[in-house]
Amino acid sequence: MRAGVPMAALLALTACASSAPMREPTGDSVILAKQLTDIERRSGGRLGVAVTDTTGRLLFGQRSDERFAMCSTFKLLLAGQVLRGAASGGPSLRTPLPLAETDLLPHSPYSETQVETGELRLGFAAEQIVKVSDNAAANLILKATGGPPNFTRLLRMTGDTVTRLDRNEPDLNENVPGDPRDTTSPAAMARSSALLVYGDYLNSDYRRMLRNWLIDSETGRTRIRAGLPPAWIAGDKTGTCGTAYNDVAFIESPDGGKYMIAAYLDRPTVSDDAANALLAEIGRAVVENPPE
C-alpha cells in the first residue's frame, strides 16, 4: 500500500472504479455479452471477462475494469518477469533458491519433492508455478526478486497501472470485499498476459518456453480450455482462492485466430465443479461468438 494513503480512501477509489459503465457491445459481442450475463446470473457471483487480440487490444469486456482478487493468476506474470530478467542481466535461470521444510506451504507439489536437496533452481521454480501452481516456489521467487513491491514496479514499467501484488502466499488469497490489495482487472491481466505470450517483452526462446508451460499446465483442464473444440490450441494459468475461480488463457483457432481471455468469477454460490463448468462455458461462448 502506498504510504500516506489511508485504506478508506483506497476502498473508495476501488468502489468508484468498479462502478464504471461496461463497454457497449456490438455485432457478435451482443450475443457474447448476453451469454456471459446469463453465466454470471447462474453463478450467483460476480463475473469479469476481458478478451484481447495478440497486441493486448481489448476486443470485448464485461466488468473488465472492475477489480478482482488475482489468486494464483499472478504466477503467470511472475514467471514472465523471471524469464525477462534472465535475458536482460538479472538472475540466471540456474540461480539456486535455498529451500527448507519451513518454506513448504499447502499445494507445493514440486517443492515437496525437492526439500531434501535444500534448494530449487529459479528456472524450474518458474516453470512449476505455472504448471502446477506451486506456492512455496512462488514465495521463493518473490524473495529472490524483490518481493511484491518489485513485482508491481515491473508491471508499472510495462504500462500496467492496475495490477498490484501486496502479499505473499497464502495471505494474498484473503479476498476481502473492497480490498484493492493483490488485485487486478480482467482487462489489465489480459493485456499484460498478451504482452508475455505474443508481444516482445520476452525474446522468442523464452516466449516459446512460457507458452509451452501454459499448454502443459495441469490446473486448468476443466476451465476455459474445457469449452474449446479439440482442434484449438490453448494454454492457461488458473487462480483459486476458495471464494474466487479465475482463469487466464490464450486460445488459438485452426484458421489462425488468436485471443487472450481473462475470466474472474468472484464468490459464486455454486459448487466447485459447477464454477469450473461455467468458466468452460466462457471459452465456448468466445469460440462461438468471436469478438473483433
Q: pLDDT tens digits, residue range 116-150?
A: 999 999 999 999 999 999 999 999 999 999 999 99
Angle at alpha carbon of residue 76, lines to 135 and 139, rounded to 5°: 30
146-173: per-residue pLDDT in tens?
999 999 999 999 999 999 999 999 999 9
State yes or no: pLDDT of 12 exceeds 80. no
Q: What is the mean pLDDT of residues 249-265?
A: 98
18 within a domain of the structure (yes/no): no
Contacts 24+ apart (CB under 8 A), 32-38: 32/60, 32/285, 32/286, 32/289, 32/291, 33/60, 33/62, 35/281, 35/285, 35/289, 36/62, 36/282, 36/285, 37/62
Closest CA to 118 of 103, 129, 133: 103
Q: What is the mean pLDDT of residues 30-57?
A: 98
3 within a domain of the structure (yes/no): no
114 within a domain of the structure (yes/no): yes
| Residues 63, 48 contacting (CB under 8 angstroms) | yes
Closest CA to 117 of 97, 136, 144: 97
Catalytic residues: 72, 169
**Residue ranges making up the domain that contains 46:** 25-288
23-42: per-residue pLDDT in tens?
455 456 899 999 999 999 99
Contacts 24+ apart (CB under 8 A), 233-239: 234/283, 235/197, 235/211, 237/72, 237/73, 237/75, 237/76, 237/130, 237/133, 238/72, 238/73, 238/133, 239/69, 239/70, 239/71, 239/72, 239/73, 239/74, 239/75
CATH value at residue 280: 3.40.710.10
> Looking at residue 22, what DSSP letter applies?
P
Average pLDDT, the chain: 92
268 within a domain of the structure (yes/no): yes
Q: What is the mean pLDDT of residues 46-63?
A: 98
| Residues 105, 82 contacting (CB under 8 angstroms) | no
Structural domain count, the chain: 1
230 within a domain of the structure (yes/no): yes
Residue 12 CB contacts under 8 Å (≥ 6 apart), including other chains: none
9 within a domain of the structure (yes/no): no
Closest CA to 195 of 277, 83, 86: 83
Residue 29 has what pLDDT? 86
255 within a domain of the structure (yes/no): yes
User: Side by side, which strands form the sheet with 244-252?
Assistant: 58-62, 46-52, 258-266, 244-252, 233-240
State yes or no: pLDDT of 11 exceeds 60. no
146 burial via Cβ count (<10 Å: 0-12, 13-18, 19+): middle
Residue 25 has what pLDDT? 52
State yes or no: pLDDT of 17 exceeds 80. no
User: How many C-beta neighbours within 10 Å does residue 163 have?
Assistant: 23
% of the chain surpassing 90 pLDDT? 89
Residue 9 has what pLDDT? 38
Residue 292 has what pLDDT? 86
Residue 157 has what pLDDT? 98
256 burial via Cβ count (<10 Å: 0-12, 13-18, 19+): exposed
